[in-house]
Chain A
Amino acid sequence: MSTGSLQARAEGWLGNNDVRLLIALALAIGGLYALFSVVLGFQLNGTVNTLRRVAFLSAIYAMLALALNLQWGYAGLFNLGAAGFMAIGVYTMGILTAPVTASPPGFGLPLPVAIVGAILVTGIIGGLAALPAIRLRADYLAIVTVAFSEIVRLTLRAPEFANTRIAGVAFGTGGATGLSLPSNPIRVLFYTDPATTAPAPNALGAAIFSAVEPLGIEETLVIGWAYVIVLCLCLGLLYWLMIRIGKSPFGRVLKSIREDQQVTQALGKDTRLFKIKTFALGCALMGLIAIFWRLSGGYASPRMFKPIQTFYIFIALFIGGTGSPTGSIVGGALFASLLFEGPSFIRRVVAEYLQLSNAPDTLVSALAELGTLDVTPLLAYSVQDVSISALRLMLLGIVLVYLMQRHPDGLLGHRKAIASSVALSQQATREDDNE
């Protein structure tokens, strides 16, 4: 009984204030991974690096979920081709920035110009793709967009475009081997000449590096955290933008399209145009976020843009709840920290504490050992690279089915941003509780 009221109080305290909710979530995830690091006996540098990785992925998936929420949660456009638009953004940026002399050659433009160019290209292609696709039913739109993203991926992978020359301009996608991207732009803050391999730190860099050096924290980690902080600022900006869009006349039209397209049309709104604009904007955002994602790795390859990437974002979105920006951030953070990164940490804990012998070659021999009531061979088999990643994806599948069966609107789906500007439900007695 007391736990129930405690839960109700906690829900009341967190549920009414989004900022509190997000801070509590960040602290909980941070605490969990700090605990993992302690259990695994990491040094300070390793602990801070673990936290950086989780924070980085959480921020990226939160932003991607926000962009997808604009299309699916607000306008009801089922875009199963997110990975394709992400690839277009990253590759446009990569090709525009690659030096003219490099192999494959590019256009040698500065990074900011290339990012603007990539946003424009992704947005325009998104708009063009939406032009005919918008008429389709949701399930056909899903199939068309997933086919589109595969077309993009196969084209980027094709050897014919790996290093090509069209109309006298030489450029290339690098084919199946991938494309090098410019180094992390955040390095400008810390180094005098960030483009070189072993650059000298500038005044700020020298001050910070020498301050953290006694703690055993490396330069790359400082840079990584600086990048994560910038990403979190971007996430905050995007969150604010989504809330603004949601409350603006434009956003209200989108939500009314989601609820009933014909009524919206009857009110004199050109729903087609609204949908195309939303689709283009969402795609451009995905392109930009994918650039943030890949800039930290300095490398892109077609393998990273398989349909599974789209499903990851959808799982993040559905965990949080469609139609609510706060839900998208919660979903992105929970997905990245628990489902995406969690299993590999559990595996490391298992490997650390249960002196596992060599893994059996096959599941059959691992199961055969169960006859002698010895579970360690099965555990050893399960924590191999291939099996743990398969188990992780099986878990994702189960989560997706569970969410669709029990909570098709997600954890915060009950807070779906309503279409009207005033809360109608407070005046009327709530007859439609399923909304």
Chain B
Amino acid sequence: MAARDYYSRGQNLVYNRPVLVIFAVIGAFLVFDILRQVGTGTVAITDLMSYLWNGLVLGMSLGLAGVGLSMTYSILNFANFAHGDLITSGAFAGWATAFLIAGLGEFSVESLILIGGPIAVGSNELGINVVNTPLALLAGLLVAAVLTAALSLLLDRIVFRPMRSADGVTLMIASVGVALFLRNFLTYSFLTDSRGLTGGNVPQFTVAGVTFGGHQITLVVVAALLMLGTHILLQYTKIGTAMRAMAANKDLAKVTGIPTERVVKLTWIIGGGLTGCAGFLIALQQGTLTVTMGWDLLLLVFAAVILGGVGSIYGAMVGGVILGLASRLALVWIPASFLLVAAFVIMIVMLLVRPSGLFSGRTTA
């Protein structure tokens, strides 16, 4: 009986969702192929492990960067193309602070505020890393969060609030304008030099041939803590409940007496704060900073959010980690220049097969 049930359910699946079945078969084949390649020794097990670790690091970056995007997407109903440049803004604000605290007295304020750049401050001379200057980094993280939240609120006040009733496409195009403005404002202020950030001896651990960098570990741990905090906030506080109610049905939320404008503001504050932290941590892990950092990440962040399901915080986290792992594991088959291509293909396939994402049906939970 049970076997027949399974059989008929399988049959239904094949008939109703043929594309899904095809992709599931391809996925299973790829997993099998990895195991085979490891078994035959074509891919060393240490290589595989470092792909997985690097994938996790990338995934946590994308997940943390995606939470804010996912929140605004579900509550304000538009794809915010300026999100990538909010990430960059957070990184610049945070790192200027970290440089100021670490190097005040030794270097000119001008060069520190500009994070080196046109005037070279050797990042090696400053020696910022998680062991040498933890306070400077903590201060940088806080300033990144606060300033990005403030910037988000300001942008909402100037750009998005006057067009609250506009449809998603109009808001999305306006956000493209905001993205252009922010990125080029940073270019105008900081110029295009790529900046080295960290220096000194960054601690790292090598376990069974896999190198775990100190800043990679910092990113994973802090990102996990921030996501846990967001989860608790949304799940157990009144404001979290209000946010989820608004994401589920805006009109009903308004009728129930939820102050929707205040919820929107808080969404920008929390989302912006997390985004700023993400920018600061991603720059810390990369060790370099450019004005196009966030814009270059934006499509990947979108991919993570869509993969997990728009509006779902867990979705953004899980989507980020899956995307990070998948795109790094793809190095088993494809050359490094196609890494991004693989991630975008995963996103497009996801949108076509299951546009509601892995965590569909849950909004901001």
Contacts and interface: CB of A to CB of B under 8 A. Distances in A.
B176 A394 contact: no
B11 interface: no
Given A150-B299, A364-B114, A143 B341 contact: no
A151 B180 contact: no
Nearest to B339: A154
B345 interface: yes
A229 interface: no
A386 B338 CA distance: 30
Contacts of A386: 187, 191-192
Given A138-B168, A147-B299, A408-B166, A394 B341 contact: no
Interface in A127-161: 132-133, 135-140, 142-144, 146-148, 150-151, 154-155, 157-160
A358 interface: no
Contact of A146 (B299, B335, B338): B299
A137 B79 CA distance: 12
Interface in A396-421: 396-401, 404-405, 408
Contacts of B302: 143, 147
Interface stretch (B262-270, B274-282, B348-356): B348-356
A400 B177 contact: yes
B178 A160 contact: no
Given A140-B351, A143-B351, A147-B347, A397 B337 contact: no
B141 interface: no
Interface string A299-316: 000000000100100100
Q: How many B residues touch the partner, as a band?
A: 35 or more
Interface in B172-186: 172-174, 176-185
Contacts of B177: 396-401, 404
B355 A140 contact: yes
B338 A404 contact: no
A311 B82 CA distance: 13
Interface in A1-39: none
A279 interface: no
B179 to A, nearest CB: 7
B188 A363 contact: yes
B117 interface: yes
Contacts of B190: 363
A361 B119 contact: yes
B337 A400 contact: no
> In the complex, which of the residues B171, B177, B344, B347 has the most CB atoms of chain A within 10 Å of its own CB atom?
B177
A393 interface: yes
A135 B354 CA distance: 12
B142 to A, nearest CB: 23
Contact of B169 (A138, A389, A399): A138
Contact of A405 (B162, B191, B348, B352): B162
Q: How many A residues touch the partner, as a band?
A: 35 or more
A142 B79 contact: yes
A143 B79 contact: yes
B181 A398 contact: yes
A393 B119 CA distance: 25
B221 interface: no
Contacts of B79: 139, 142-143
A361 B116 CA distance: 12
Given A150-B344, A155-B341, A362 B118 contact: yes
A365 B108 CA distance: 12
Contacts of A157: 337
A134 B347 CA distance: 16
A145 to B, nearest CB: 10
A194 B75 CA distance: 61
A241 interface: no
A401 B338 contact: no
A311 B110 contact: no
A405 B174 contact: yes
A273 interface: no
Contacts of A408: 166, 170
A263 interface: no
B306 A143 contact: yes
B189 interface: yes
B110 A364 contact: yes
A343 B92 CA distance: 27
A399 B188 CA distance: 18
Contact of A400 (B162, B168, B176): B176
Given A139-B168, A396-B177, A396-B180, A147 B188 contact: no
B175 to A, nearest CB: 9
A393 B345 contact: no
A158 B336 CA distance: 9
Contacts of B306: 140, 143
A401 B344 contact: no
Interface in A89-127: none
- Nearest first, the 6 A-B pairs at minimum CB distance are A400-B177, A397-B181, A397-B180, A404-B174, A390-B187, A401-B177
Given A151-B341, A364-B110, A398-B181, 6 more contacts: A139-B78, A139-B169, A147-B299, A159-B337, A362-B114, A401-B177
17 contacts: A136-B352, A147-B347, A148-B348, A314-B176, A362-B117, A364-B110, A390-B188, A397-B178, A397-B179, A400-B176, A400-B180, A401-B177, A401-B178, A404-B174, A404-B177, A405-B163, A408-B166
Interface of A: 78, 132-133, 135-140, 142-144, 146-148, 150-151, 154-155, 157-160, 308, 311, 314, 318, 361-365, 368, 382, 386-387, 389-391, 393-394, 396-401, 404-405, 408
